[in-house]
Structure 1
Amino acid sequence: MVTEIQSTTQTLYDQDYYLWLRTTINQLRAGQFSSVDLDNLTEELENMGRSEKRAVKSLLIRLFEHLLKLTYWDVERERNEGHWKGEIRTFRREIKDQLKDSPSLKPYILEIFDTCYQEGRAEASDRSKLPIDKFPIALIGSLEQILDENWFPEYNHNHHGKAD
């Protein structure tokens, strides 16, 4: 009987994910643990964790990209400043929301912080068509600073942000 139920839920998982999800939730709430499709449920939970990590990594890269464009891309600053600041505010809020919901992500963010900054530099260079060396190699701020809604990197006049 258990094999038959597992076979049915496996088929349901493959054919109608949303119905499988609702069925699994109902089984758990009803205490029907022997009926739960544990293999797929475990995999889904693992995927959720990976998804959270990917989302916060993407947000961090985008935040760095926009902070760098705002600070070093002189030619476009006046025209795009409002848009970039709006994006920065959104990315900051979304990262803070992720950390509020999952405080255990903070060590992960610190682990990927440098890499995300370098990826943000590359994105800023690609999108601005400025050489990557127009954006500083060294981190522009700490995690606390980049998440602070009132903080922006100081403009360094040695980097003009203009295409050569």
Structure 2
Amino acid sequence: MVIQIQPSTQTLYDQDYYFWLRTTINKLRTSQFSSVDLDNLIEELEDMGRSQKRTVKSLLIRLFEHLLKLTYWNVEQERNEGYWKGEIRTFRREIKDELKDSSSLKPYILEIFDQCYEDARTEASDRSQLAIHIFPLIPIGSLEQILDENWFPEYNHNHHAKAD
């Protein structure tokens, strides 16, 4: 009986990611550049950038969605106002933290601002079951406004419309 041993094409990166990461960091710290797994290192760095962009985009959509619900979903306003405001503050803080860590993302936020607002309109409509035309086509605030911890769009805190 002949046993054939397949050559292992699996790299340390594929076998044990955390060990690969620690090994790569140690090689870089000790200037062992020629033995660094550059292909996977480059791929990881590119993924980090894409991941940061996805995070900022998701946070911006959630922020807009909650601002829209707070402003226009009168039936649920009394019950959910505190929760929505808390979520708005959390999303603002998380976006600001991302921008503090990577200020070069600010142009990206401006680039995706309108699309994120449109996505938030759709999601707010789905979640509230309000018709999408209830929410304005133009964003309800500028980037500076929506990130300002003291700014909230005009809404009626005392109006508690009941569903018919």
TM-score (norm 2): 0.89
Q: Which has the higher helix share?
A: 1
Structure 1's 152 and 163: CA in aligned 2 closer, same or farther, altered over 3 A?
same
Does the Cα contact within 8 Å between 1:73 and 1:162 map onto a contact in 2? no
Greater CA radius of gyration, 1 or 2?
2
Distance 1:43 1:114 in 2: 30
Structure 1's 35 and 148: CA in aligned 2 closer, same or farther, altered over 3 A?
same
Distance 1:163 1:44 in 2: 50
Q: Which runs of 5+ in 1 are unaligned?
A: 1-7
Does the Cα contact within 8 Å between 1:62 and 1:91 map onto a contact in 2? yes
Question: Could you tell me which residue of structure 1 aligns to residue 39 of structure 2?
Answer: 39
Instruction: Report the alpha carbon displacement of residue 161 of structure 1 after superposing the two structures with TM.
Output: 8.2
Any runs of at least 4 consecutive aligned residues in structure 1 with deviations exceeding 3 A, and if so which?
160-164
Structure 1's 49 and 9: CA in aligned 2 closer, same or farther, altered over 3 A?
farther
Structure 1's 113 and 163: CA in aligned 2 closer, same or farther, altered over 3 A?
farther
Does the Cα contact within 8 Å between 1:72 and 1:161 map onto a contact in 2? no
Instruction: Report the alpha carbon displacement of residue 134 of structure 1 after superposing the two structures with TM.
Output: 1.1
Distance 2:92 2:162 in 1: 27
Identity, % of aligned positions: 82
Matches within 5 A, 1:89-104: 89-104=89-104
TM-score (norm 1): 0.89
Matches within 5 A, 1:18-33: 18-33=18-33
Asked if 1:124 corresponds to 2:124, the answer is yes
